A = this chain, B = another copy of it.
């Protein structure tokens, strides 16, 4: 059961019914492509390919109605899907939203999610083009993202890391995990304001649009995003590519804010950096200089697996669903 915070008042989905609820979503996230059996996307440019990915968020597992606003939930749902499109070197152009919600869900909660989605798809010049709304016992949000991969360079696959390349990153590492640890310890209301950026990183992550396209255009060959954990995600790249990846501790050292949060929680900030997922930081390999917005964090090496300064990482776990 999902227990919505009591300050969401007004009619519920059970009261207004499916059609009015869908109208409200479409009003919050307008699109000219929406409202038919299926959405027609724009004419593909010559030589372009489509790219598609899907991710599901379950209340109580991937987000909590006690910690996140509905706008943040919508934002997070988009970013974690669009990050997968960016991680191919492609440009997100459309999203579809399937949402299952209990009848007692306030309509204002649903439109809040839609507003968060509209905000994030808008920042990518993409659109929410379709969806489905149904009744369930739990709040479940399933987003599909569709992107466009232009030009003739290959997509940035997991198996294209090559010996000697730099490993580069765009975005924070470990911030989402630190935010989650703070939320678990304090609840949202009682977290010292200085840690706001860590909470934001967990509840409403951001990813600057276009970095994946830039990386692909400037010679990156492999890319993924930090969704399950830095070591776990880079281990996948290493295994698929048949190489090793050595991270430089000085280049992934926890930010000052992580050290402060770790002190408060009596935790090790390196665990957040190495094991924490959901930052949706782009991780790429390239033979050249780091693409604009990226910084070097390691090298592709002989061998297998991920090392830090040549040794086994202190933490290797990551997110698992079961």
Residue positions of A touching B, CB distance < 8 A: 13-14, 16-19, 21, 35-44, 46-56, 58, 61-62, 83-85, 87-88, 90, 94, 96-100, 103, 129-138, 140, 142, 144-147, 149, 155, 157-158, 223-225, 320-322
Bound Cα distance from A48 to B148, whole angstroms: 13
| Chain B minimum-CB-distance residue to A86 | B37
| Chain B residues in 8 Å Cβ range of A51 | 38-41
Task: Supply 5 further A-B pairs (C-beta < 8 A) apart from A37-B158, A40-B155.
Answer: A36-B88, A37-B87, A38-B52, A42-B50, A56-B142
Do A146 and B50 touch across chains, with their CB atoms under 8 A apart?
yes
Do B56 and A134 touch across chains, with their CB atoms under 8 A apart?
yes
- What is the minimal beta-carbon distance from A312 to any residue of chain B, in angstroms? 21
Do A52 and B146 touch across chains, with their CB atoms under 8 A apart?
yes
- What is the minimal beta-carbon distance from A186 to any residue of chain B, in angstroms? 25
Q: Contacts A132-B55, A138-B136 given: A41-B37 contact, CB under 8 Å?
A: no
Bound Cα distance from A153 to B17, whole angstroms: 36
Bound Cα distance from A321 to B135, whole angstroms: 6
Do A320 and B129 touch across chains, with their CB atoms under 8 A apart?
no
User: Which of B14, B100, B149, B320 interacts with A58 by CB under 8 Å?
Assistant: B100
Do B103 and A56 touch across chains, with their CB atoms under 8 A apart?
no
Bound Cα distance from A84 to B132, whole angstroms: 12
| Chain B residues in 8 Å Cβ range of A100 | 56, 58, 140
| Chain B residues in 8 Å Cβ range of A43 | 47-49
Do B103 and A322 touch across chains, with their CB atoms under 8 A apart?
yes
- What is the minimal beta-carbon distance from A231 to any residue of chain B, in angstroms? 15
- What is the minimal beta-carbon distance from A283 to any residue of chain B, in angstroms? 10
Q: Contacts A49-B41, A50-B50, A61-B134 given: A321-B36 contact, CB under 8 Å?
A: no
Do B322 and A17 touch across chains, with their CB atoms under 8 A apart?
yes
User: Which of B88, B98, B103, B149 interacts with A54 by CB under 8 Å?
Assistant: B98
